[in-house]
Structures are given as C-alpha cells and as structure tokens.
Amino acid sequence: MSKSDKLQIWTMVEIHQGKADSVSWELIGAARNAVALGVESGGCGIEYDVTAVVIGEHVQEIAKEAISYGADYVMLVDDANCGTYINEVYQHALFEMMEEHQPDIFLIGATTQGRDLASGMAAQLSAGLTADCTQMVIGPPKEDMPCLLMATRPAFSGNLMATIVCETARPQMATVRPHVFVALERDETRKGKIVEFEVKRPFVNDQVKILAQEFLAQATGGIEFADVIVAGGRGIGGKDGLVLLKELADVMGGKLAVTRACVDANWASHEIQVGLTGKTVNPALYIACGISGAVQHRVGMQNSQKIIAVNQDADAPIFSIADVGIVGNLFEVVPEMIAQVKAMKSGMGAK
C-alpha cells in the first residue's frame, strides 16, 4: 500500500481486553459521513480510502471486524510488545506508519486512551489536532492537498460552534467523542485488505512499567448505552420531579438523564448529566422535559434519532431541534404519557 492520489483517511481502533471499543467503528462511519457531506455541499467529489489502524496482540479478528464496519484497508501491527496500551509503544508504531504512508487525515476516539495517544502523536508529528469534534465535513481542495477536513467543535464554553481547518500540517487530526457519530451496519461480506505493517526500529519502553492490571466490570448500564432517555431540566422543580420522570423512563424501558442545572442544584448526580461537560448520547428516543435547550445541553443529545420536547414556553430553543414538541406543563403531560404507555402495554391501546 503506497501513497496514492486518493484521499487517505485513517481511523484508530481502540482495543480493551481483546475487544474493540465501539467508538472505533463510529470513527469509520464518521469518515464516510464527512466525505458524503462534502460531496453534498458541492465541496469535494473525491476518491478516498478509509484505513483502520489496529495495534495490539492477537488482533487479527479485530482487523477483519474493521473491514466489516466499513474500512477499505487495515494497517495492522500484531506484536507481543503491543498487548497492553502504552503510549510510548503505540506512538512508536504509529509514527513509523505515518512516516511511511503519510495519511491526509487521522481520526481518534476522544476516550481516555485516545486523548492520550492523539495529543502525543500530534506533538510528535507537529500536526494540528481538533479535539471533541461534533461535526466533520471534507471540504474543498487547497494547494497540493486534495481536500481539507473541516472539523466543528463547541468553543467559548459552547456558546460558539467553531469550524477548524488545518491548512498546512499533516495529517489533519481530530478526536471524536463516543456516541457522537453512528457506526455503519456491520457487513461480514464487505471486502477490504489487511496490510501487516512491520515496525522496523526496535520498540523501546523505558517510561512505563505495568505492575498490575485491574479491570472494571464493563459499564453498559449508563445513559450512553440507552435506547430511550427521559431527561429532566430545571423545569422539574426538584428531586420529586425526577421521581415522576424516572417512572416514565421505567415504563418505557429507558434511562433517566438530566441537564447541568439539575446537577448544580444537587437533584441528581453528574453521572447522568448530558451535554458539553456531561455525556454525549444518541438514543433512538430522547424525551426532554422542562429543558430550555441551551447549546451546551444540545451538543450532548442533538444526534438522538427522535426528540420529543415538553416545555411550557412555546419559544424554548429545544423545540427547534425537536421532532415532536408539546407545549404544556410537564406535571400534566408526563403523567398522561405514563398512563398511555401503560395502557398500550396492557393491551388496552392508547386513547
């Protein structure tokens, strides 16, 4: 695999205990989506390849998985030195790959590991890095580069969405939070090529020594994994309001979430806060109750597939992104919703 005329987009696969983190597949989806948006906006009708980088030990199966999630190529380092993530070791392998293949764009998950790796790589490569992107478009070409990555992220405490372009430094790097983009449907019949990359310089690891490892039980019960979220804002008035919303969440098999206003008021824990300084979610259904829709909240939930908003103020900004808006008092609307869902579930049908 050598540098071709096609735009080369690379994405990092993050592995924990022999399994790929789902953000890895979301990055491949994000790469293809960025090209599609560029073409749609008339910016960049280019040919491109998406290459997933897999570094680890005994990770051949993960390389195949990357192809089924949409990678054209996989750049694979399967090496006993890489069994556990250590920045120095992974960066060493990545740097050699980058030197040899010079990708145009490199996307990494904005996870603890990804942030560690991305910042180190950007410093080593003297590349620009846009962190925590919420939108990406492959824009018009510039000088000898086929196309530019236009990466958008909240700036100035979320009061502004800034689109950042790295005109000269390469690769153009960006991190993306989990659940901001959607992975492609897994397709085992997809064809791609796995390139086994040989790291030439010997690995050095004199900075970090792993003395013991302890794994936390995989937390899949959090709001970031929920299909249905019922979220409350300051309009719920206090902890009692949350009890009502929790009842709706329970009958719908969903999870309760809140805005920062509720966390600041000590009504709920930060664990279930959605937004810029909380979690990013993309459930099938997000029911926002008594939430005004401040931009710092919206960046954490605006990619939900369907949004229902309940607010007594018809001009609340949340309605501008809602699929269904209910103007009313949540203390009247939510009990009615609970009753309707219960009635449907018991086979009586909705009124």
Q: Footprint of ligand FAD on this chain (CB under 6 A)?
A: 157-158, 233-235, 259-261, 273-278, 290-292, 294, 296-297, 300, 310-313, 316, 329-331
State the Cα–Cα distance between residues 216 and 100, nearest whole angstrom: 37
Please say which residue, 194 or 291, places its beta carbon nearer to ligand FAD.
Answer: 291
Query: Could you tell me where the DSSP H helices lie in the chain?
Result: 22-40, 60-68, 87-101, 112-125, 239-251, 260-264, 295-298, 330-345
Q: Which C-beta is closer to ligand FAD: that of 70 or that of 275?
A: 275
Of 68 and 302, CB closest to ligand FAD: 302
Amino acid at 312: Q
Is the CB of 168 or the CB of 329 nearer to ligand FAD? 329
List the one residue out of 92, 79, 110, 102 whose CA is nearest residue 14: 110
Which of 173, 213, 200, 205 lies closest to 82, judged by CA?
A: 205
Contact 273, 266 (CB under 8 A): no
Nearest distance, CB of residue 295 and ligand FAD, angstroms: 7
Residue nearest to ligand FAD (CB): 275
Instruction: Compare residues 122 and 291 and give the one whose CB is closer to ligand FAD.
Output: 291
Cα dihedral sign, 28-34-37-38: negative
In the complex, minimum distance from the CB of residue 132 to ligand FAD, in angstroms, rounded to a whole number:
12
Q: Which is nearest to 151 in space by CA: 142, 161, 143?
A: 161
> Least CB distance from residue 140 to ligand FAD, whole Å?
32
Instruction: For residues 320 and 260, give the distance between their C-alpha atoms in angstroms, rounded to a whole number.
Output: 20
Q: Which residue, 32, 21, 15, is CA-closest to 76?
A: 15
Residue 95 or residue 331: which is nearer to ligand FAD going by CB?
331
At its nearest, how many Å lie between ligand FAD and the CB of residue 317? 8
8 Å CB contact between 125 and 171: yes
Give least dist CB 258 to ligand FAD, A: 7
Residue type (1 letter), 307:
I
Q: In angstroms, give the least distance from the CB of 260 to ligand FAD.
A: 3
Shortest separation between residue 27's beta carbon and ligand FAD, angstroms:
23
Q: Which of 105/244 has CB closer to ligand FAD?
A: 244
Between the CA of residue 149 and those of 74, 106, 108, what are the distances in Å? 21, 10, 14
